[in-house]
Amino acid sequence: MKLPENSLFGILMRRDWWVSALGALITFMVVQLFMPWGYALFATLPFTIITGMVAWKQYRVPSGARLERKLEAIRALPWEEFAHKLELAFKAEGYTVKPSKGIADFELEQLGYLTLVSARRWKVGRTGAEPIRELVEYGQKRQARQCRYVAAGEVTEQARAYAKEQGVVLIDGVDLVQRVGV
Which helix (H) or strand (E) covers residue 45, if one does?
helix 45-60
pLDDT tops 90 at residue 7: no
State whether 91 and 130 are in the same domain: yes
Q: Is the dihedral of CA 122, 60, 17, 32 positive or negative?
A: positive
Q: Is residue 1 part of a domain?
A: no
Per DSSP, the three-state class of 61 is coil
Cα end-to-end distance, the chain, whole Å = 25
Global pTM reads 0.67
Give the count of alpha carbons within 13 A of 35, CB side only: 11
State whether 110 and 97 are in the same domain: yes
The boundaries of the domain holding residue 77 are 64-180
pLDDT at 63: 64
Counted domains in the chain: 2
State whether 108 and 164 are in the same domain: yes
State whether 138 and 78 are in the same domain: yes
Domain of residue 91, CATH code: 3.40.1350.10
Give pLDDT tens digits for 89-107: 999 999 999 998 888 999 9
State whether 112 and 71 are in the same domain: yes
Q: How far is CA 104 from CA 54, 97, 117, 174, in A?
A: 33, 12, 5, 22
Give pLDDT tens digits for 13-35: 878 888 999 999 999 999 999 99
